[in-house]
Structure 1
């Protein structure tokens, strides 16, 4: 191989080495800073292809997307000095690459640890000024809003990150007090249930008494009306009988005698002792009932 070819190969190899070590790419999902002997000289590298001087410049890349830091559940005390276990998480992204690199050395895990500590401190302060009722339901949304507002400035100035959102996932009572709280809640619910049952029983007794009274009144009115109708019917029957019998008194006397004979001799072996000249045998002596 001639010296010319050797020189050409060396030049090509040098160009390849310079290209591989001098060119770099910043993706759309990345943020980066350009360093010169460890000092930040360009804090905001734009996405695309860039050039750096090997051995002089260095590039640190960070994830530019929204990241999540999931804090460990911590015990906080409310305004009444009651302990609560609060589990939370936060969404953040790098906003100031130079400050982020200076504060965390470009390590996302380090940034998450620092942010988690500040979130816990903020939650401790926010829970301490509220009651259990306010933390659990009454002002839970406001707590997260206040926490995000108070932490956002700190996160920007100290860590170079923007706090997108802070959320409380779960709020529990500590295991050492939850049992007593549950027992007290059960006792309160049982007391409330007994009160409701007694009120229901009292109302039911009132309804039964009113229904019984109404039934008695209805029966009395019905009996009165029935007796009145029965009396009117008996009176009408008596009037009809009287008019019928007045038309033929002799026939009426005859039918009454037949009925008396039927009732007197309805049984077997009956014995009847009467005077021979008794009116009982009036129509047996003569069909006309003559004396």
Structure 2
């Protein structure tokens, strides 16, 4: 009889413990729970702490409220009808106030990503890409991202998803456009080279004109000097400088002509003597 009473007590105690475990749920920090009784979600999310729940007929779904990160691909056409493909890394978290509605309409976190975030990312990228050409999408990438962020934030907010940050992981365009960009860069480099050569030729032509003008001014000044008294001295000096620069031997005899403007006449004494002997 005592053994039966002990066994009964053990069974009752086990049932009490089991009942107690099924009557409470512990929600950890960074989590939120949704209580469902007989398959129907109750209003009001369960935040961190200990909460009571009806035993055996209820269930609590736990949602992670910490920051989640998923990479989502997207594809669109630009304003100039060029194909543009991108991949976005999206940081988000679930709004704890709307956890119950998320449970009722979307279900699990995986459903939120596949059924809400992925398609809304695609639509938001279409909006951002359609506002600019493919070249603008590349050169003004920050503006493309800003338009995408605005569109995605508005669309996901009504689903209880709060977008914290996005980043463009990859941005690709068609091979045809890539080739066109390369050809344009080559053409621009050639054009810049042509402009440089034209400027260089223009500067050389200007220098040639300036040199010609300087030479003409020098000749004019020399002519005016020769007209003045004492110009023969200039001629004599130039003749002597010419001998020095030419490396020829200095003449043995220097005879000046007669008249108002004598011109220096140069004779090699040795050659003159030799001609007389002959």
TM normalised by structure 1 equals 0.65
SS of 1:185's equivalent?
helix
- For 2:27, the equivalent position in structure 1 comes to 26
Q: For residue 43 of structure 1, give the secondary structure of its aligned residue in structure 2.
A: coil
**Runs of at least 5 residues in structure 1 that lack an aligned partner in the other structure:** 238-262, 274-291
Q: CA deviation at 1:112?
A: 0.4
Residue 68 (structure 2) aligns with:
67
Q: Contact 1:151/1:163 (CA < 8 Å) preserved in 2?
A: no
1:191 correspondence with 2:187: yes
Cα contact 1:148–1:166 (8 A) shared by 2:
no
User: Distance in 2 between the 1:264 and 1:149 partners?
Assistant: 104
CA distance in 2, matches of 1:170, 1:67: 20
Distance 2:111 2:197 in 1: 65
149 and 23 in structure 1: CA distance in 2 versus 1, 3 angstrom threshold: closer
**1:83 Cα deviation after fit:** 1.4
Cα deviation, residue 122, structure 1: 3.0
Shift of 1:19: 3.4
CA distance in 2, matches of 1:111, 1:233: 107
Q: What is the CA–CA distance in structure 1 between the aligned matches of 2:87 and 2:20, rounded to whole Å? A: 49
- Note if contact 2:70-2:91 (Cα within 8 Å) is conserved in structure 1: yes
Distance 1:271 1:101 in 2: 130
**CA distance in 2 between partners of 1:148 and 1:14 (Å):** 51
| Deviation (angstroms), 1:52 | 2.3
1:57-115 deviation digits (Å, cap 9, x = unpaired) = 2111010112123212x33122332211122233322221111111232x211110012
Q: Can you give the 5+ residue segments of structure 2 that lack an aligned partner in the other structure?
A: 237-266
Structure label with greater radius of gyration: 1
The 2-side partners of 1:134 and 1:101 are apart by 41
Q: Which residue of 2 aligns with 1:172?
A: 172
Matching residue within 157, 171, 177 for 1:181 = 177
Answer whether contact 1:78 1:130 (CA < 8 A) is retained. yes
Alpha-carbon distance in 2 for matches of 1:119, 1:87: 10
SS at match of 1:71: strand
Shift of 1:219: 5.5
In the alignment, what sits opposite 1:281?
A: none
Query: How far has the Cα of 1:167 moved from its partner?
Result: 4.2
Q: How many residues end up aligned between the 2 structures? A: 237
- State the shift of 1:29 in Å: 0.8
State the superposition RMSD in angstroms.
3.7
CA distance in 2, matches of 1:114, 1:198: 56
> Is contact 2:124-2:148 (8 Å) kept?
no
More strand by share: 2
**Alignment counterpart, residue 143 of structure 1, candidates 137, 143, 147:** 147
> What displacement does 1:148 show?
2.4
Q: Deviations over 1:195-227 (max 9, x none)?
A: 322222222122222323434455566677789
